[in-house]
Structure 1
Amino acid sequence: MNSLIAFFFLSQSFLLSISLFLFQFHLAAAQSLRKAKYEYQSTPTVTLALADADADADATDEILEPPAQVQVAVPKTSLSVPLFQSHNSYHVNMYIGSPPQRRLVIVDTGSRYLVFPCKPCRNCGKQHFSNDYFDPNISSTDVSNQCVNTSGSGSSSWIYNVRTGINTNTETDVDTNINIDIQQCTFQTSSRQQEVCDPRTGMCQFRQNYAEGSSISGYEMEDIVWFGTDNEEESMKIHMQYAVPLSFGCQTVETGMIARQFADGIIGLVEHDGNAVLDMMHDAGVIDHRAFSLCLSKKGGFLSLGGTALLNDDENENVAAAAAGTRHRHLETMQMEPLLKGSKYYAVQVEAVFLGELEIATKAEVANAFHSNKKGAVIDSGSTDSYLPKDLRDHFASAWMNHHKSVNNSGGGNTDLHQTYTNKMESYTREAFQKLPNLTIVLKSGYKWVIEPFSYMEEVRSNGSKVESSSASASDPINYTSDWPAGTETAPLLFINRLYWDEPSGGVFGSNAMVNHDILFDLENGTIGFAKANCN
């Protein structure tokens, strides 16, 4: 693996207060701990379901039975950065290179890599947040990931004839033969070696296709990266000390929805053989634990690196403080659930599903729908909506109708709820909306994950476009379950139900299911923590 050159950057207004010696030590330590490469996998983002998880479902022969719940200390951290909600996604600011270039990227717990457009880009979108594409030539610390094997050894090596362009296993023309080793490449997006390595430039290439037709392709680079805020000076002074070297994808082509998205790119937070940003931060001593948490609100939230950012060590005090209105606190004690064995994603086991007080199906039916193909329920912050097993659709629709019939028959005001479950646009008065039921997902170790109508119902305009939460008159987004936009208390609003019961197997809980929860991804212990929280 190529080493990064010594970092040096002098601001005209201030000298960075970071020890060059310590920073170089962090870079060397992190790179020396880099492990074996891996096969590239990803998931569609924005409003797309997890498209390629089914292809990975048979990656293990283990029985889909999580280990018994083990009580472990909840890892805590003081390192948090803000998240921003816009265009149906949650974004974080990342800084790359020296001098740094800021990119606004989607936080995605359903994919593995950091990718964004770079110069020169032959076919990239023009609607991204940043005005210019990332320019590797500006950075003094960037290197390209090379796939030329100078030793010529190793089972992954193959020989390419530069003159003829033909792969060969002979070395009869040593002057025009070069040795290629795709194990030097981080993003092995293809089993075809010619598509992983460009033998003429020696650079690692990648390409990823998405289910709905989008695609990205480009080459690999490595540079220093860190999480920050939208304030560049603050991010340089405070957050740059947490920088680590990381391989990322420089996109030179993007098509479809990826080209039209608001974000500059994606930061994947799924663990993959020691090469994820979290692993690099831990190996460099930047964070104490291989863990992170996401606390999402309708308008943003925060990402905590190294654990969860509790304001004190007493969970009971956190709950009490939150009840008293203090921000960034848990509303309940965090409960840990085991991650599914063998899954390449953050997946949990679902035991039961309730709509209001109604259990929509038997536990056997729920288990079969979520786990028949060993997929489970994937928690994917990069998907806007939630996609649940189609085998449970009729059960959910029946429970929806029974609940609404019961509410309508009880009388007591204008509560004529729509009895047929649909993902089409419907109008609701304030009184009717407040009668909608919670969806409760009961997990393996007993945690009851409550998804409120405020989260799964999305207010839209008459043309179907989302009403952004930032348009609310209050500083915090409106919780339609208890509030209603000022001046429209008696008028109906339009909503779309964003629970889609159409997944062939398993399920994907997107960011709408994560709202108002602090969700801890504890990679060290193979667990995931849940706590209802104030994330505004």
Structure 2
Amino acid sequence: MAPATSQLCCALFIYCLIVLCLCDAFVSASDAFQGSDTRRRPMILPLYLSSPKSTHYHHPRAFDWRRLQKSELPHSPYARMRLHDDLLTNGYYTTRLSIGTPPQEFALIVDTGSTVTYVPCSDCEHCGKHQDPRFQPNLSSTYRPVKCSINCNCDNEGVQCTYERHYAEKSSSSGVLGDDIISFGDESEIVPQRAVFGCETMETGDLYSQRADGIMGLGSGRLSLVDQLVDKRVIGDSFSLCYGGMGVGGGAMILGRIPSPSDMVFSHSDPFRSPYYNIELKEIHVAGKPLKLNPKIFDQRHGTVLDSGTTYAYLPEEAFIAFKDAIMRKIHFLKKVHGPDPNYDDICFSGAGRDGTQLEKIFPDVEMVFSNGQKLSLSPENYMFRHTRAGDAYCLGIFASGDSTTLLGGILVRNTLVTYDRENDRIGFLKTNCSELGKRLNTFVAPPPAPFPFDRKNSSTEVPPIIAPSGLPQTVFPGQIQIGFITFDMILRVNNSMKPNFTELAEFIAQELEVKESQVHLKDFTSQGNNFLIKWNIFPAESADYFSNTSAMTIILRLREHHMQLPEKFGSYRLVELKTQPHQKQSWWEQHVWEVTVGVVVTLVFGGLIFGMWLLWTKRRRGIGSYEPVGAPGPEQELQPL
């Protein structure tokens, strides 16, 4: 290249850099002027560990957590939300969303196979009894019905838009569409957003009988909560899910983009193939050997679909038989037993041992091979589930599909970070410890808890009456009332009459309340049959004499709203009573009585020693038996008491 040409190229390159910098500065100034951040901001929602002492699996390709250092993530606020329930116990995971002004809170199933977020409406004609009260539009000052138009189906009066959804297990949900403020919890820095959701007037099947209130739709569609947040440029066009392992739970849900680890494997996802998230599955290997199948078997109808709202995995009949036979050939030494539910013909085996960490030594490795040649390794926890009636037995968690579609439910991605990179039409997988993922994300990127609403007129923190416990005024004045400790009584209904391990239970309570184990103290307990009435004290940290108002309210909210999720082995619990004890300010004497007492004792001891030494020296100087009583001839002496 000629020198003149080289100089011209360099000049053009520098000019382009200057223009880009000026454009970036202009956009930043425009955002600041408008008072809103139009960048796509990721929103992290940790799915917390339910059991710190439960089984942990160590995978060969462990996640390098240094990749998630705060400096490497986009600088933006995050939302922290817990994930409740358990995949195999309940069949789903739920998170809690608030709708309306003032907020009405609901437990919603996290579902990538649904495109609508909905909750039961107050005027529902056929809705079951769920975890929380129904949504009452008339109590929300920000609620707006979505008016009928050519873009939606309308109700019989032609006034409001409606929705209707049917599911494979023969359940259904239908109702009207509303528009209101949706917020992601008190600990979120994400500004609450307006979004369209469904207000149920009819539900059938499992939706009617389930404990969860409704569905959080993470699918792809204009009514999807993800699509609505992306359209508002609140988050990037990506989200991730990470489910905990066998008997562990926990993990994280991430709304928005995070850096993809270098060893994450990806599969192309065709958004036009079906309304569901799909991958290009080509082969399945068992113990290193591919199943003898035509690769097109995984490409029928909707292809291979990922659905977080489905518990197990389902293969086309031919693929299921080949997979089952390959597994059984490798574990022929185990005894085949009946499944836990007589209504289902489960394939179960006993003799595998009670230690879930040793399953990899018994059951073979499985690999899913994508069309691009990349492989996802599956551990036994990804295709087996624990038998509920036999401690050393496990059952196959993959079944024959009712049609030609391959459906991969939550069991297949336990302890796997799954990134739904919608912007680049791909889905990524990384084997990792999802329980640790939640903790690491908290440490590196989660914001501090948001303060409770502050009233500048009277400088008080308002406590909603519905959660104000006994012993705590409705208005807490900082500096005037300081909470010394919190007490609560719970009734624990155990699965058998054996006394629970209170030390282990205290550890779980400490984690659920996010306090140290040393702060949780067992006060007393009584029992009657399978019911235990347990009294607990929660004390401030060792370095503090009392709780801060924010810390106390956080603990109170979690207790009052039953956010504690205890492992199934402890049974179920119910909160009976919740009290707070004010911190008693001590007088100077009460605060220093110990120091004064020690000082007096030390003075007396040392004084006595000094006098004794002086008396001994005096006696030795005068001689033994030379003591003379007062009044005797000689120098006058004063009798000194010892």
Same fold (TM over 0.5): yes
Deviates more, 1:438-447 or 1:511-520: 438-447
8 Å contact kept, 1:348–1:444: no
Q: Could you give the per-residue CA deviations for residues 80-103 of structure 1, whole angstroms, max 9, x where no partner exists?
A: 533223312111111111111111
CA distance in 1 between partners of 2:147 and 2:382 (Å): 45
Structure 1: which 4+ aligned runs deviate by more than 6 Å? 24-27, 419-422
Give the structure 2 partner of residue 145 of structure 1: 146
Shift of 1:425: 4.4
CA contact (8 A) 2:335 2:349 kept: no
Residue 357 of structure 1 is aligned with which of 288, 295, 299? 288
> Which residues of 2 match residues 2-81 of structure 1 at below 5 A?
79=78, 81=81
Distance 1:358 1:119, change over 3 A: same
Match of 1:226 among 183, 186, 190: 183
Kept in 1, the 8 Å contact 2:265–2:376? The answer is no
Q: Residue 25 and residue 293 in structure 1: after superposition, are their counterparts in 2 closer, same or farther (change >3 A)?
A: same
Unpaired segments ≥5 residues, structure 1 = 1-20, 31-72, 148-180, 186-195, 229-233, 317-332, 409-415, 463-490
Query: How well do the aligned residues superpose, as a CA RMSD in angstroms?
Result: 3.2
Alignment partner, residue 342 of structure 1: 272
Deviation track 1:412-469 (CA, whole Å, cap 9, x = no partner) reads: xxxx35499972444333189541123221112233222222232222333xxxxxxx
Alignment equivalent of 1:285, drawn from 229, 233, 244: 233
Higher relative contact order (CA 8 A, sep 6+): 1
* 1:307 partnered with 2:307: no
| Distance in 1 (alpha carbons) for counterparts of 2:170 and 2:423 | 36
Match of 1:212 in 2: 169
Alpha-carbon separation, structure 1, partners of 2:398 and 2:135: 36
8 Å contact from structure 1 (residues 389, 504) kept in 2: yes
Q: Which structure features the higher share of helix residues?
A: 2
**Aligned runs of 1:61-140 on 2, under 5 Å?**
79=78, 81-86=81-86, 87-126=90-129, 128-130=130-132, 132-140=133-141
**CA–CA distance in structure 2, aligned partners of residues 242 and 444 of structure 1:** 41
The one-letter amino acid of 1:368's match is K
The answer to whether the Cα contact below 8 Å between 2:387 and 2:394 also exists between their aligned partners in 1 is yes
8 Å contact kept, 1:110–1:268: yes
What residue identity is the alignment partner of 2:141?
S
| CA contact 2:381–2:411 (8 Å) conserved in 1 | no
After TM superposition, the structure 1 = structure 2 runs for residues 228-307 of structure 1, keeping only pairs within 5 Å, are 228=185, 234-235=186-187, 238-239=188-189, 241-273=190-222, 275-287=223-235, 289-298=236-245, 299-307=249-257
Give the unaligned 5+ runs of structure 2: 1-30, 40-66, 340-344, 436-642
Q: How far does the alpha carbon of each residue in 1:179-199 deviate from its partner, in whole angstroms, 9 at most, with x for none?
A: xx331x3xxxxxxxxxx3125
Give the match's secondary structure for 2:411. helix
1:532 partnered with 2:533: no
**Is 1:427 aligned to residue 350 of structure 2?**
yes
Contact 1:118 1:135 in 2 (8 A): yes
- 8 A Cα contact 2:337 2:349, kept in partner: no
Q: How does 1:392-431 map to 2 (within 5 A)?
A: 392-405=319-332, 408=333, 416=334, 418=336, 423-430=346-353
Find the partner of 1:505 among 385, 404, 411. Answer: 404
- Per-residue deviation, residues 448-500 of structure 1 (Å, max 9, x unmatched): 222222232222333xxxxxxxxxxxxxxxxxxxxxxxxxxxx8533322101
* Equivalent in the alignment of 2:42: none
Separation in 1, partners of 2:143, 2:193:
12
Distance 1:207 1:25 in 2: 38
Distance 2:337 2:368 in 1: 22
Counterpart of 1:8?
A: none
Any idea what SS the aligned residue of 2:180 has? Answer: strand
Q: TM-score, normalised by structure 2?
A: 0.51
SS in 1 for 2:323: helix
2: CA distance, partners of 1:503 / 1:403: 26
Q: For 2:327, what is the secondary structure of its paired residue?
A: helix
* Equivalent residues of 2:337, 2:350 under 8 A apart: no
User: Aligned partners of 1:203, 1:302: CA distance in 2, in Å?
Assistant: 36
Q: Distance in 1 between matches of 2:388 and 2:317?
A: 28
- Name the SS for the 1:524 alignment partner: helix
Distance 2:122 2:243 in 1: 33
8 Å Cα contact 2:346/2:395 also seen in 1? yes
Distance in 2 between residues matched to 1:370 and 1:527, nearest whole Å: 17
SS in 1 for 2:93: strand
**What is the CA–CA distance in structure 1 between the aligned matches of 2:73 and 2:406, rounded to whole Å?**
29
Mapped to 1, the partners of 2:374 and 2:414 lie a distance apart of 16
Structure-2 separation of matches of 1:428 and 1:243 = 52
Instruction: Tell me by how many angstroms 1:226 deviates.
Output: 2.8
- The equivalent residue for 2:300 is 372
Distance 1:143 1:530, change over 3 A: same
2:241 and 2:428 map into 1 onto residues whose CA distance is: 10
For the residue of structure 2 that corresponds to 1:398, the secondary structure is helix
The superposition leaves residues 260-280 of structure 1 with CA deviations (integer Å, 9 ceiling, x where unpaired) of: 11211111111214x432233
Taking the TM superposition and a 5 Å limit, the aligned residue runs for 1:166-181 are: 181=149
Find the residue that maps to 1:208 and give its secondary structure: strand
Tell me the equivalent position of 2:62: none
**Partner secondary structure for residue 242 of structure 1:** coil
1:203 is displaced (CA, Å) by 1.2
Q: Which residue is 1:47 aligned to?
A: none
Report the 3-state secondary structure (helix = DSSP H, G, I; strand = E; otherwise coil) of the residue aligned with 1:401: helix
Quick one: structure 1 residues 293 and 281, their matched pair in 2 at CA, closer, same or farther if it must change by over 3 Å? same
Aligned residue among 171, 182, 205 for 2:150: 182
Q: What SS class does the counterpart of residue 219 from structure 1 fall into?
A: strand
Q: Is the 8 A contact 1:428 1:492 kept in 2?
A: no
Q: 1:442 aligns with which of 359, 365, 369?
A: 369
Could you tell me whether the CA contact under 8 Å between 1:335 and 1:530 is conserved in 2?
A: yes
How many residues in Structure 1 have an aligned counterpart in Structure 2? 356
Secondary structure of 1:81's partner?
Answer: coil
Q: Which amino acid aligns with 1:138?
A: L
- Distance, in Å, in 1 between the alignment partners of 2:111 and 2:381 is 22
